[in-house]
């Protein structure tokens, strides 16, 4: 490990410490390392054509006619690797599905937008991830 020293205004340091505590981090360093990793992953997604990984979380109306088939058709329509899906029944009307997708950022985002826009989808969020060579 290399030690790094930074200077912050006191108000910013207070906000940092509040975040460290509220998020349950052991130290400021752990929190800052996570921020740096998150920024590196965002950069990889925005400026790269290499493979990345995303997790699409979807909540939808179980009773919406043909919705699950449309979701499956979209997943099979592009060259991406659907690595895994999970399906959970939240209640009588709502299902939660996670789809782990590996591929180029633009393809993953395209699939995410198409699924999110389907009638009966109540919530959809793409979590961007990637391996980091650190």
For the chain, what are the domain ranges? 10-47, 52-129
115: nearest Cα among 102, 106, 124: 124
Beta bridge mates, 14:
none
Report the pLDDT averaged over residues 53-58. 97
Q: Which two tokens stand for residue 16?
A: 């940092």
Instruction: Dump pLDDT digits (tens) for 28-44.
Output: 999 999 999 999 999 99
- In the predicted model, what is the mean pLDDT of residues 51-62? 95
For residue 24, pLDDT over 80 is answered with yes
**pLDDT, mean over the chain:** 93
The CATH code for residues 52-129 is 3.30.70.1150
pLDDT of residue 79: 67
Comparing CA positions, the residue from 17, 38, 13 lying closest to residue 27 is 17
Options 1.10.10, 3.40.50, 1.10.1220, 2.60.40; CATH of 10-47? 1.10.1220
- This prediction's pTM: 0.83
Distance, CA of 5 to CA of 82 (rounded, Å): 42
| pLDDT at 80 (0 to 100) | 75
Q: Does the pLDDT of residue 51 top 70, yes or no?
A: yes
């Amino acid at each position: 490990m290399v030690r790094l020293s930074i200077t912050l205004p006191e108000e910013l340091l207070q906000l940092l410490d509040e975040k460290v505590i509220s998020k349950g981090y052991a130290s400021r360093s752990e929190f800052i390392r996570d921020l740096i990793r998150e920024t590196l992953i965002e950069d990889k997604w925005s400026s790269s054509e290499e493979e990345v990984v995303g997790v699409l979380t979807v909540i939808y109306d179980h009773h919406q006619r043909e919705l699950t088939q449309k979701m499956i058709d979209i997943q099979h329509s592009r060259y991406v690797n659907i690595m895994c899906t999970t399906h959970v029944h939240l209640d009588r009307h709502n299902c939660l599905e996670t789809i782990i997708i590996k591929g180029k950022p633009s393809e993953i985002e395209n699939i995410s937008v198409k699924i999110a826009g389907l009638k009966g989808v109540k919530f959809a969020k793409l979590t961007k991830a990637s391996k980091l060579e650190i």
